[in-house]
Chain A
Amino acid sequence: ELKVEQNPLFLSMQEGKNYTIYCNYSTTSDRLYWYRQDPGKSLESLFVLLSNGAVKQEGRLMASLDTKARLSTLHITAAVHDLSATYFCAVDVAGTASKLTFGTGTRLQVTL
């Protein structure tokens, strides 16, 4: 059974600081997805990582994938309040009929 673990589960950080969210998974996969969810809202796709060593950046967020370590990171640079949200990673395992397994989420709170 595929397990996807995120840490930390909750992160409070000051504006301007850098931090990294980690996503570990238990089965071989070379496809990983990051989503953002604002309180009371739906999930928004942020990044699609499709191979080992893939790196994607959008604004202050950068995601990377290391399939050998079964690890993805979401790095936040110089955080701003607007980045406050819950971030989920999800893993796609080949041969599982297009199903995603989600981590439990990291709630990020950026304080002024």
Chain B
Amino acid sequence: DAGITQSPRHKVTETGTPVTLRCHQTENHRYMYWYRQDPGHGLRLIHYSYGVKDTDKGEVSDGYSVSRSKTEDFLLTLESATSSQTSVYFCAIKALAGINEQFFGPGTRLTVL
């Protein structure tokens, strides 16, 4: 347990509505990541952050935005949810400088109807 929580853990929403997922960490880690997991695709990086207000895109960033106004919180926003964004979303942190071993939160299962 790397002190990572995600909220909500489950959410059902409708197409076209905005959705924000929260990742919270308690250990002051600099790097934070958002992934989505879908059958047959493993984990794919959506966005990541390397410090407060410092973020960058990952492999599948279209339709997502992020914000990090405090070290401990990394928010993922779906501006207008679509059914293709139904997935399990994982937040992760990198704990050690020089080693990219990442530790994952419990995940959020999002269903877009």
Q: Which residues of A pack against B, CB within 8 Å?
A: 4, 31, 33, 41-45, 48, 50, 88, 90, 92, 97-105
Contact = CB atoms under 8 A, between A and B. Distances in A.
B42 A103 contact: yes
Nearest to A43: B104
Interface stretch (B19-27, B63-71, B93-101): B93-101
B99 A42 contact: no
A100 B105 contact: no
Contacts of A88: 42-43
Nearest to A104: B42
A47 B94 CA distance: 15
Counting contact residues on chain B (CB < 8 A from A), the size range is 20 to 34
Label chain B's interface by main secondary structure: strand
Nearest to A42: B104
Given A43-B90, A99-B48, A104 B102 contact: no
B44 A97 contact: no
Contact of B90 (A42, A92, A101): A42
Contact of A98 (B40, B94, B106, B107): B94
Contacts of B99: 31, 48, 50
A42 B35 CA distance: 12
Nearest to A92: B100
Contact of B44 (A31, A48, A92, A102): A102
9 contacts: A43-B90, A50-B99, A90-B102, A98-B50, A98-B100, A100-B45, A100-B102, A102-B43, A104-B41
